[in-house]
Amino acid sequence: MRLATRRRFTAAGILGGPLAWTLVFMFVPYAIMFTYSFYTRQFPTMVPDFQFGNYLALFADPQYYQVLLRTIKIAVLVTIAAVALAYPLAYFLVFKVASARLRTALYVAVIVPLWVSYLLRAYTWKTILGSEGVLNSFLVWTGILDQPTDLFLYNQFAMVLTLTYIFVPFCVMPIYASLEKIPASLKEASKDLGVGPFRTFLAVTLPLSVPGILAGATFTFSLTMGDFVAPFLVGGADGALIATVVQSQFGTALNWPLGSALSMVMLFIVLTIITLSDRLERAGRLDLG
């Protein structure tokens, strides 16, 4: 066999696996979902069709766009909170912890919760935030509250808190990586030019860590958009998120075409966010030369 042919076979072998995998487990399901979104519901399932009624319903019936807007609101809040918490933590780990060993240990401590079941971690918040939970008991014990409050659990606050806790590690990782890559010489140069630490941070460190922030924020936003565990466990009467509605369309409501259309809209939003963040990151890179 000629070398070129053999190379081509090797390349096909290496690329073929992942390609087939992506095709079977990504493109085909999405294509099926896309097709379903034009079908017509007919009890108990649906009939093939090509009509836009499902998409129209999403915009005509307030229940869908209301939930969509609520989901985007929650996702934005969680993203802001997660980045706000993750950035100082990553900064502290990279620049303030002198011992490399301690830094690794602390970094691992941030990542370790990811190995514990998501469901379990979300459930833990119930025992903390409940009317007779740890937080309420503590506040009543210290005399800050006369009696336990209902304000902590089964509302949007509880969802934002739980999701922020869950996604902080996803933010810490890319921010940590981007901060770690900043050469010490840049900060030294800034110092030599007589610039104070705060302005050095604003002019040197922050802009160079934007790719990390964007990556973390994109992760958090996209994952929050698709979450249905938090509303189920800690959300209240006003806690339905878009994934909850998709689930119910494929479940009790038995309207697969509408559920598919809703999934397509979600997919579109998330892909738009990913594309935008990718563009922003590239633009940032160019600016800094």
Query: Which residues contribute to the site for other proteins (CB under 8 A)?
Result: 43-45, 61-64, 66-67, 70, 130-132, 148, 150, 153-154, 232, 235-238, 240, 244-245, 248, 250-254
Encoded amino acid at 232, one letter: F
Shortest Å, Cβ 200 to other proteins: 45
Min separation Cβ 61 and other proteins, Å: 7
β-sheet bridge partners, residue 41:
46
Nearer to other proteins, 57 or 97 (CB): 57
CB of 179 to other proteins, least distance (A): 40
User: Tokens 């999403």 appear where?
Assistant: 58
Q: How far is the CB of 144 from other proteins (least distance, A)?
A: 19
Which residue(s) pair with 47 in the sheet? 40
Cα–Cα dist 244/235, whole Å: 11
3-class SS at 46?
strand
By C-beta, is 237 or 288 nearer to other proteins?
Answer: 237
Q: Cis omega (within 30 of 0) on the bond before 169?
A: no
Q: Which is nearer to other proteins, 67 or 215 (CB)?
A: 67
- Give the nearer residue to other proteins in terms of CB position, either 62 or 194: 62
Alpha carbon distance 231, 228 (integer Å): 6
For residue 130, the minimal CB distance to other proteins (Å) is 6
105-113 CB contacts, 8 Å cutoff, 24+ apart: 107/172, 107/176, 110/168, 110/169, 110/172, 111/169, 111/172, 111/173, 113/169
Element (H, E) at 76: helix 62-91
Of 88 and 251, the one with the shorter C-beta distance to other proteins is 251
